[in-house]
Amino acid sequence: MTFNNDMNGHHIVIIGGGFGGLYAAKALGNSTVRVILVDKRNFHLFQPLLYQIAIGGLSPGDIASPLRSVLNKYKNINVIKAEVVDIEPEIRKVIFRDGELFYDTLIIATGATYNYFGHKSWPNVAPGIKTIEDTIDIRHRIFLAFEGAEREEDPIKRKDWMRFVIIGAGPTGVELAGALGELANDTLKNDFRNIIPSESEILLLEGTDGILPTYPPKLSIKAKESLERLGVTVQTNTMVTDISENSVTIKKGEKTGQIYARTILWAAGVKASSLGMILSEKIGSELDSVGRVIVKEDLSVQGFPDIFVIGDLANFSYQNGYPLPGVAPVAMQQGLYVANLLKKRMKGEIIPPFRYQNKGNLAVIGRNAAVADFGRFQFSGFFAWLIWVFVHIRYLIEFDNKVLVLIQWAWNYFTWKRGARLITGEDTLLFSENHKNRLKN
Amino acid sequence: MTFNNDMNGHHIVIIGGGFGGLYAAKALGNSTVRVILVDKRNFHLFQPLLYQIAIGGLSPGDIASPLRSVLNKYKNINVIKAEVVDIEPEIRKVIFRDGELFYDTLIIATGATYNYFGHKSWPNVAPGIKTIEDTIDIRHRIFLAFEGAEREEDPIKRKDWMRFVIIGAGPTGVELAGALGELANDTLKNDFRNIIPSESEILLLEGTDGILPTYPPKLSIKAKESLERLGVTVQTNTMVTDISENSVTIKKGEKTGQIYARTILWAAGVKASSLGMILSEKIGSELDSVGRVIVKEDLSVQGFPDIFVIGDLANFSYQNGYPLPGVAPVAMQQGLYVANLLKKRMKGEIIPPFRYQNKGNLAVIGRNAAVADFGRFQFSGFFAWLIWVFVHIRYLIEFDNKVLVLIQWAWNYFTWKRGARLITGEDTLLFSENHKNRLKN
């Protein structure tokens, strides 16, 4: 396979405007190649702060940046809003649901979605935090639960409204549980007359034997302590075997049990975007158990040096035998790597294989508490939280001038305000016809 | 009818958390009456800035404040999230879709909704700016139209994508048209590669002979000039006789015509909330042609001194023979008046009839231009705009600590940024199966 050395004629198509796709595009900006970034949404979403929308701390607009405005200074980059449904690698064509596009080089960065392990009814009863729409649905459920409890007179039913189950104690589940704990203990403290929000039960269920399984055990224990201080009950070694409308069936060793709750949220495991499956069918790409594409050491796909897979869709296991984690820094570094490789390739040069430089992992557990793992250095508590705020604000500023929004948000963190706790969308009845309640005057 | 002089026993129910209901509640806060504010939403919405959401200038969270947090410092006020479906004035009962509530005094402040004058299909093809959901739908349509134009190769169809029709040139229609003009001319200037956004056609249709019909003619002319500078075409004396999926049928004198456009927005006329109709059926309250309740001079309802109607739902015509306009200051002053009346009434005192003090009208037409009518003083241009910004920020701050959000927004006004231009909601195909387009590399 030969490469077109006429850079003016070289067309790079990037599918996906997440961290991987966006960093690849930016690194190719104002070069002489032509780049088309295709995404089914018109915005880049800062997913690490998505859980803040669920608890009303941030609005969608605060953590989303229009792809066109992020990239508009690069005249060689065009953005197309379209959904890719197929790829024909033999003729270098990408097929949209409503159009098509040829490429010389293709970068696939379509990420991952929640994995319900084949349970078709679970997404409806236990939504996951992955898209803006899902997260607004979750915000709706959380705040409606408090409204329902406020109006409920039956003490048992009231407890069901005030019980929140979060399934999965990776970073998203832990951050969500911590934020929910703060919401109940502090933000809503004075807002109700019939209930005491801090009496909410927040249960965090995890299948393995500790929370934040990819973090060092010391930090995992610190995180658990911080959650408990916020009133979160952590149950490890707990498998979820079924979820229905208002209940979760669990298995803990030999024992099984059932938890009733009006609000059940899913943060357990992801599966790769369906484009991996297309590569598997069309060109026999090998996939791992969650559908990620096993990439070569230069992030290209076996047999197709003009197709790269980066970010959460890629399984890259050359550093310690384990796949790199599905986090933003991996995707960013991979995007930069592929952009650099392509620029060199067009000059006839080659670069060494991709290597991820782990600059640290951070998870926040409510106001003033976080855990930070920088390999040699590990922090927890307020200092880790400050690092976390700093890192997140730095990344957000990079895309968009949202400085003041973030200062406002950091300020609200200290004053417990949550301005964005709107219940929008379809009107939901709190009480069905058969148990109409009568409010005492 | 006698009133209960035991203030501890007096229960005031307020339906609706808009400007009228909220001001009444706040004025009764920390008094010895018990107040229950009922709203089907859990937030107060600053409707005058809703059109800013449509063009991506603000996020819903920026202009919405949770009712509970606005009122949580008043221990005698309870907020109930419920939808009122009926009232039984004879036994002083309010009926929810899922419950019921007794009152001693009732204040109805449920406002108005768009009036499509009986055309059932029009709301779907020409949504109006009234709720957050409608407005997010409009934002979706506006930004999708530019995406559609960018991908469309047929020049006629491309023009249809880039034609925006706004029906109704009251304050909302005028402000929306101006904001859309700015969006096309400035914000999106560098964002596209195949289209020039400033070539968009923005048509503002008005049935009467001038825009902002309730403003002094001089300001109406100034406003028209400002709009024209932003590329808006104003067509007065133009009646809309039909609206279908992508076209508007108009009648101008004897001539009829048809305008094709992918985006049609409705800002023509409002009708009162359905609770007016319930009062009419139950206690024979007189309604005007748009369903507003003709109130007495103290804002109570004929024959029921314990029921008050305020804000957009009330027709109060005692000052100059015309009903007061449906604007926030009228609702606020009426809310304060009724709260004051009730406090005095419980002491056995009476107060003079309600009188509206018009402190001025403001409409903004894009950045740096507004019209302000303060009776004796009338302004237009940048100075009016500054007043407009100041007044709006002042009101927003009153409810919630959104100072920095608003500074950010004012700053973006000068830098043309629109950070919240997300296309969310259902995925829409830009091109249907029968005209799939192929993009040139």
Question: Are the C-beta atoms of A400 and A69 separated by less than 8 Å?
Answer: yes
**B377 DSSP 8-state letter:** E
Chain-centroid distance of CA B120 in Å reads 21
Residue labelled with tokens 């559609």: B148
Residue A402: closest C-alpha in chain B: B408
Residue A33: closest C-alpha in chain B: B441
Q: Strands across the sheet with A263-266, in order?
A: A232-235, A201-205, A163-167, A263-266
Which residues on adjacent β-strands are paired with residue B163? B201
CA atoms within 13 A on the CB side of B96: 28
The nearest CA of chain A is from the CA of B439 a distance in Å of 5
Q: What integer is the mean pLDDT of B88-98?
A: 95
Percent of chain B residues past pLDDT 90, beyond the cut: 61
Please report which residue ranges of A198-327 form alpha helices under DSSP H.
217-229, 275-283
Beta-sheet strands, E only, within B49-162: 64-66, 77-81, 84-88, 93-96, 99-102, 105-108, 112-114
Which are the contacts of A258, defined by CB distance < 8 A and separation ≥ 6?
A247, A248, A249, A250
The nearest CA of chain B is from the CA of A199 a distance in Å of 18
DSSP state string for B301-330: ETTEEEEEE-GGGEE--TTTSSPPPS-HHH
Q: Catalytic positions of B, please?
A: 175
Q: What is the pLDDT of residues B25-35, one digit of tens each?
A: 999 999 999 99
Q: What integer is the mean pLDDT of B172-190?
A: 91
Which residues on adjacent β-strands are paired with residue B240? B250
Mean pLDDT (10-residue bins), chain A, 441 residues: 49 96 95 95 88 86 86 93 95 94 97 92 93 91 94 94 96 92 90 94 95 86 91 96 95 94 93 95 95 97 97 95 89 96 94 90 72 73 72 66 59 57 59 44 38
CA nearest to B113, candidates B291, B319, B317, B352: B291
**What is the predicted pLDDT for the residue at A148?**
93
Across the interface, whether the CB atoms of B436 and A132 are under 8 A apart is answered: no
Question: Are the C-beta atoms of B50 and B139 separated by less than 8 Å?
Answer: no
- Substitution target in B191, B411, B432, B440 with the highest count of A β-carbons within 10 Å is B191
Q: Token pair for residue B241?
A: 């006789």
For chain A, domains (ranges, CATH) are: 7-114+271-346 (3.50.50.60), 122-268 (3.50.50.100)
CB pairs under 8 A between A and B: 216
Across the interface, whether the CB atoms of A66 and B433 are under 8 A apart is answered: no
The answer on pLDDT for B300 being more than 60 is yes
Q: What is the pTM of this model?
A: 0.85
| Distance set, CA B110 to CA A295, B14, B171, B340, B388 (Å) | 59, 9, 21, 20, 26
**What is the predicted pLDDT for the residue at A381?**
72
The nearest CA of chain A is from the CA of B246 a distance in Å of 20
Residue of A175, A182, A297, A433 with catalytic role: A175
Find residues 218-237 of chain B whose CB sits inside 8 Å of chain A. none
Q: Give catalytic status of residue A433 as yes or no.
A: no
**What is the predicted pLDDT for the residue at A59?**
82
Q: What is the pLDDT of residues B27-67, one digit of tens each?
A: 999 999 999 999 999 999 888 888 988 988 888 887 888 89
**What is the predicted pLDDT for the residue at B364?**
75
Burial of B190 (0-12, 13-18, 19+ CB in 10 A): middle
B375 contact A CB<8A: no
Select from B101, B405, B429 the Cβ nearest to the Cβ of A98: B429
DSSP state string for B236-283: -S-EEEEEETTEEEEEETTEEEEEE-SEEEE-S-EEE-THHHHHHHHH
Across the interface, whether the CB atoms of B99 and A188 are under 8 A apart is answered: no
Classify A234 as helix, strand or coil: strand
Residues of B in contact with A137 (CB under 8 A): none
Across the interface, whether the CB atoms of A99 and B56 are under 8 A apart is answered: no
Question: Are the C-beta atoms of A138 and A130 separated by less than 8 Å?
Answer: no
- Substitution target in A52, A65, A408 with the highest count of B β-carbons within 10 Å is A408
**What is the predicted pLDDT for the residue at A402?**
57
The answer on pLDDT for B359 being more than 80 is no
Phi, psi of B43 (to 5 degrees): -140, 155
Classify A114 as helix, strand or coil: strand
Q: What is the pLDDT of residues A95-104, one digit of tens each?
A: 999 899 999 9
Query: Which helix (H) or strand (E) is A161 found in, with range?
Result: helix A155-161
Task: State the average pLDDT for chain B.
Answer: 86
Classify B145 as helix, strand or coil: helix
Q: What integer is the mean pLDDT of B380-399?
A: 70
**What is the predicted pLDDT for the residue at B147?**
93
Residues of A in contact with B421 (CB under 8 A): 42-43, 66, 69
**B48 DSSP 8-state letter:** G
Q: Please state, in angstroms and rounded to a whole number, the distance separating the CA atoms of residues A321 and A335.
A: 21
Res. B1 pLDDT band, cuts 50 70 90: very low
Residue labelled with tokens 């915005």: A43
